[in-house]
């Protein structure tokens, strides 16, 4: 496992975490949200948490859903006024992103992905002379898509939910990024179709949830379908000039599983590590496992 570089934001701060929650600052607004990975005790007192927070998301454990780490059932308790939406900047990559207290508890941006954004930026710039085509699968609100487009890629952004694709386009406009091809589509079906057509991409970004539904009700179960998805992803990859990034949010899957998937299908060595969010109290929060490979990786 690689200890990835930890990047700092001006507009975001993980103030503290513990007791299955996290205390975060998004711009000037401080929020408390559930965090099942934070198994340790808080470093700050309950009083410090409660007096700092503008709002808190409270999970409703009476409802059952096929949830992953991005979605919760519950609702917000507002202690002070919070706007319907506001903007975050990540200056090193010229990103401006809309955030909002959504009904699922997420904010529309996964800040732990910042090291992956830098990887995407570096890889696209390495391949920019080829005008690389990049496909972002399960792309959500599109920060990775915007980064790739700004670096010089021809980007296809694909997600099954229309309103988050609309949100992604808002982020593109806020960041003043080049045009992106938007697809409201089931990722599995799309990749199969691209393979059948013989279409080729230089960048493959795969960010699947543990569970999900396509726009036509198609069922996605990570453990059951990830192997076949990677098989088809390899079929649409330019093997002379490429990079592939796989994220695993499922808490039950080791990074070594992702490495084996890439090795088995691409015949290339792969690196893996954790997406960490640095905390002001010194306890970094691991939220995701990444797996990365490229044409520069060692052949097996």
Residue 155 · residue 134 · CB < 8 Å: yes
DSSP 281: T
The Cα–Cα gap between 70 and 67 comes to 8
pLDDT 10s digits, 23-35: 999 999 999 999 9
12 pLDDT above the threshold of 60: yes
Count CB-CB contacts under 10 A for residue 299.
Answer: 8
pLDDT at position 87: 97
Does the structure show a pLDDT above 90 at 223? no
Any bridge partners for residue 12, and if so which?
26
Please state, for a pLDDT cut of 70, what percent of the chain lies above it: 95
Instruction: Kindly tell me if the per-residue pLDDT of 72 is higher than 60.
Output: no
Determine the average pLDDT of the residues in 87-91. Answer: 97
* CA separation, residue 241 to residues 137, 158, 248, 297 (Å): 19, 22, 24, 11
For residues 67 and 12, the model is more confident at 12
What average pLDDT does the structure give for the chain? Answer: 92
**66 pLDDT tier (thresholds 50, 70, 90):** very low
Range in 50-59, 167-176, 216-225, 261-270 the model is least confident about: 216-225
Task: Reduce the DSSP state of residue 261 to 3 states and report it.
Answer: helix
Out of 2.60.120.620, 2.70.98.30, 2.60.40.1180, 3.20.20.140, which CATH number does the structure's domain 12-90 have?
A: 2.60.40.1180
CA separation for the pair 266, 273 (Å, rounded): 19
68 has a pLDDT exceeding 50: no
pLDDT at 69: 41
pLDDT per residue over 133-151, tens digit each? 999 999 999 999 999 999 9
* Whole-number pLDDT of residue 165: 97
**pTM summary value:** 0.93
Burial class (CB in 10 A: 0-12, 13-18, 19+), 102: middle
Note the pLDDT tens digit of each residue in 248-276.
Answer: 987 667 889 999 999 999 999 999 999 99
Torsion-angle region of 161 (φ positive above 0: left; ψ -120 to 50: alpha; else: beta): beta
Domain boundaries, the chain: 12-90, 109-294
Crossing angle of helices 222-235/187-197, nearest 10°?
20
What number of other Cβ atoms are within 10 A of residue 1's Cβ? 12
Pick the CATH number of 109-294 from 3.30.420.40, 3.20.20.60, 2.30.30.100, 3.40.50.150: 3.40.50.150
């Amino acid at each position: 496992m690689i200890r990835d570089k930890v990047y700092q934001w001006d507009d975001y701060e993980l103030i503290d975490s513990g007791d299955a929650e996290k205390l975060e600052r998004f711009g000037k607004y401080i929020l408390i949200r559930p965090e099942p990975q934070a198994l340790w005790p808080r470093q700050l007192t309950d009083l410090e948490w409660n007096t700092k927070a503008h709002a808190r998301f409270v999970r409703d454990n009476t409802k059952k859903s096929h949830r992953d780490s991005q979605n919760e059932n519950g609702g917000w308790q507002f202690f002070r006024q919070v706007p319907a939406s506001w903007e975050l900047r990540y200056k090193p990559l010229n990103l401006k992103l809309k955030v909002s207290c959504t009904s699922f508890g997420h904010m529309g941006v996964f800040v732990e992905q910042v090291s992956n954004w830098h990887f995407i930026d570096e890889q696209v710039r390495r391949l920019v002379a080829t005008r690389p085509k990049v496909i972002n699968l399960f792309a959500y609100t599109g920060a990775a898509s915007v980064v790739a487009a700004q670096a010089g890629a021809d980007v296809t952004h694909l997600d099954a939910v229309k309103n988050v694709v609309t949100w992604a386009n808002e982020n593109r406009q806020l960041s003043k990024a080049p045009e992106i091809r938007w697809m409201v589509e089931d990722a599995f079906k799309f990749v199969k179709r691209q393979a059948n057509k013989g279409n080729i991409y230089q960048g493959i970004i795969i960010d699947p949830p543990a569970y999900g539904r396509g726009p036509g009700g198609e069922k996605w179960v990570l453990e059951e379908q990830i192997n076949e998805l990677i098989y088809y992803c390899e079929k649409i990859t330019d093997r002379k000039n490429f990079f592939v990034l796989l994220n695993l949010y499922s808490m039950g899957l080791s990074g070594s599983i992702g490495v084996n998937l890439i090795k088995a299908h691409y015949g290339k060595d792969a690196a893996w590590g954790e997406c960490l969010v640095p905390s002001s109290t010194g306890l970094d929060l691991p939220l995701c496992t990444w797996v990365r490979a490229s044409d520069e990786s060692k052949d097996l």
